[in-house]
A = this chain, B = another copy of it.
Amino acid sequence: MPGRADPAAPAAPRARLNRGRVLVAAVALADETGLAGLSMRRLAQELGVVPMALYKHVADKEALLDGMVDLVIEGFDPPEEALPGIDAVRHRVLAARRAVRRHPWARQAIESRTRRTPTVLGHMDAVAGTLRAAGFSVDLTHHVMHALGNRIWGFSPELFDAPPEDGPAPTPQAQQAMAADFAERFPHVLEIALEATRGDLSGVGQGCDEDFEFAFALDLLLDGAQRLQRSGWTSPRR
């Protein structure tokens, strides 16, 4: 083996790893092999690196998945055309769908996420904002967001599943600052949360009235379906 050891390795000094490269490689690997085929070990191998090296760039596999989902969401086509009212919502949702469809694993991954990254909140805020711009009340916007469910993502996770529970308790002023930041970045999400909790955000963790939201969406669909049936609807044959 000494006859082989070239001190200045020729072609591939192997670019340094960083979070971005890890995430991109993970997305590519998942595209190829599906979520089930994505393991830390396999991913490391793909990057020509030892498994533990990944942990310098992502906290653990959950964080890796979070990052991958963010990457997909960032790939949502921006709504360049300024469409009127509800059509803007439709446009945005269909754009999300296109991005999600590019990655067959994305639906499952998004559904499994329990943390809400800023990127995820950003998308929800954008959809809510589009509904508000179309003249919807905060109240109605809220329930329609639930009803859209899957469709917001090209398929709806709950906004708040579990309390954030970071490590050490944040100081009051840090909390204040975070709240202000949140209000600025996600104003529409905030107004919905305020409406739903009647201004008492402390109870935001326990979520919405799921039974109500379920029935709301069900009735929206069934009423619409019945209207189609009465009008003798048939699907367009291509």
Residue of B nearest to A195 (CB): B235
- Shortest beta-carbon distance from A17 to chain B in Å: 29
Q: Which A residues, 27 to 83, have Cβ-Cβ distances below 8 Å to chain B?
A: none
Given A135-B229, A137-B234, A228-B140, decide whether A217 and B221 contact each other with a Cβ distance below 8 A: yes
- Shortest beta-carbon distance from A182 to chain B in Å: 24
Q: How many chain A residues have a CB neighbour from B under 8 Å?
A: 42
Oligomer: number of copies? 2
Cβ proximity bits A203-238 to B, threshold 8 Å, 1 near / 0 not: 000000000101101111111111011000111000
Asked whether, in the complex, the Cβ of B150 is within 8 Å of the Cβ of A97, the reply is: no
Tell me, yes or no, whether A189 is within 8 Å of chain B by CB: no
Cβ proximity bits A83-94 to B, threshold 8 Å, 1 near / 0 not: 001100110011
Asked whether, in the complex, the Cβ of B151 is within 8 Å of the Cβ of A218, the reply is: yes
